[in-house]
Amino acid sequence: MKKLTILLTSLLLVPSIFIGCSSNSKQSNKNTIKVGASPVPHSEILEEAKILLEKEGYNLKIVEFTDYVTPNTALAEKEIDANFFQHSAYLEKFNKERGTDLTFTSKIHLEPLGIYSKKIKDISLIKDGADIAIPNDPTNSSRALKLLESKSLIKIKDVELATINDIIENPKNLKLQELEAPQLPRVLDDVTIAVINTNYALEANLNPLTDALAIESKESPYANILAVREDNKDSEAIKALSKVLTSPEIKRFIEDKYKGSIIPTF
């Protein structure tokens, strides 16, 4: 009888144990923020933000992506709560092309676009017919063309979003080719110069301040943002994440770690 009593008592306790586990699991999920990010520098900045977010009562889970499309589709499909890898001009273009309705809460930092080369040490040494590689997504392609124009290599039409077709003067007959942004550091052996986004330059151990032949102005409007959905932009979790990413602690971290190659914009 004693054994039977103990067994019945144990069985009665089981539902409450599972209910407790289920409740804790739901609470854990509610307080977890999943953010998609490029490995460098975005994931590094988010890693620093983890400790600060814990003080706000949230657990930050970082999901790394190495392209410019998947993080936005994952956000739109609610696989993640936010992403951190792009500027607002790219997000706006993405929304128009994909029919999404993504938005953003904060501008975090600027990654100046740079011109890099393994073949020449100065822009003035570019020869006629040189091969030039630039990003192929519309906004970064336009940025690259404007950077090349600022160095008197080409002249483009006065348009907001320039394309290769908007080149009206090319005195050196430069051969421009558009490639996926992550591929640009890998083709430096094959082209005279490549215009590379800072995040991919850093991943390839290129220092924008010492290795770039030229760099985008610090007044560039292309600050990287924390992108979210319309349905969660005012949630307490996203507010906490935005607060942390624009905190004095994160500003100091960016300034100390990247030494001016990445610039806080808050």
Q: How many domains does the chain have?
A: 2
Phi, psi of 40, rounded to the nearest 5 degrees: -130, 130
- H or E stretch covering 33: strand 32-37
* In a shared domain, residues 186 and 137: yes
Is 226 in the same domain as 99?
Answer: yes
Please indicate, yes or no, whether the overall pTM of this predicted structure exceeds 0.85: no
250 in the same domain as 226: yes
pLDDT above 50: residue 9: no
- Cα distance between residue 127 and residue 134, in whole Å: 17
Q: Is residue 24's pLDDT more than 50?
A: no
CATH code, domain carrying 125: 3.40.190.10
Question: Of the residues 182, 199, 215, which one is the last residue of a structural domain?
Answer: 215
Tens of pLDDT, residue by residue over 148-184, are 999 999 999 999 999 999 999 999 999 999 999 999 9
Q: How far apart are CA 119 and CA 125, in angstroms?
A: 9
Same domain, 190 and 134: yes
Query: Do residues 20 and 67 make contact, with C-beta atoms less than 8 angstroms apart?
Result: no
Residues 102 and 63 in one domain: yes
Does residue 15 belong to any structural domain of this protein?
no
User: Are the C-beta atoms of 41 and 199 separated by less than 8 Å?
Assistant: yes
Do 199 and 71 share a structural domain? no
- Whether 55 is covered by a domain: the verdict is yes
Q: Are 30 and 160 members of one domain? A: no
What's the burial of 4, exposed, middle or buried (CB within 10 Å: 0-12/13-18/19+)? exposed
Q: Are residues 101 and 118 in the same domain?
A: no
The range of the structural domain enclosing residue 45 comes to: 25-111+222-264
Q: Is 239 helix (H, G, I), strand (E, B) or coil?
A: helix
Q: Is 143 exposed, middle or buried (0-12, 13-18, 19+ CB in 10 A)?
A: buried
Question: Do 135 and 165 share a domain, yes or no?
Answer: yes
The answer to the question of residue 47 being in a domain is yes
Q: Average pLDDT of the chain? A: 90
CA dihedral 94, 100, 101, 105 (to 10 degrees): -50
- Where is the domain boundary, 182, 200, 215? 215
How many angstroms separate the CA atoms of 211 and 112, rounded?
A: 13
Q: Does pLDDT of 8 surpass 90? A: no
Q: pLDDT digits over 221-236, tens only?
A: 899 999 999 999 999 9
- What is the predicted pLDDT for the residue at 147? 97
Q: Does residue 1 sit within a domain?
A: no
Q: What is the pLDDT of residues 98-154, one digit of tens each?
A: 999 999 999 999 999 999 999 999 999 999 999 999 999 999 999 999 999 999 999
pLDDT over 50 at 79, yes or no: yes
In this structure, the answer to whether residues 80 and 120 fall within a common structural domain is: no
Instruction: Assess whether 138 and 202 both reside in one domain.
Output: yes
- As a whole number of angstroms, the distance between CA 222 and CA 53 comes to 26
Is the pLDDT score of 50 beyond 80? yes
User: Last residue of some domain: 175, 200, 215?
Assistant: 215
Check whether residue 201 and residue 253 sit in a common domain.
no
Determine the Cα–Cα distance for residues 49 and 51; give it in Å rounded to an integer: 6
Q: Is residue 30 part of a domain?
A: yes
Residues in Cβ contact with 185 at an 8 Å cutoff, skipping those fewer than 6 apart: 116, 194, 196, 200, 201, 203, 204, 206
Name the DSSP class of 79. S
Rounded CA-CA distance 229/81 in Å is 8
Whether 6 maps to a domain, the answer reads no
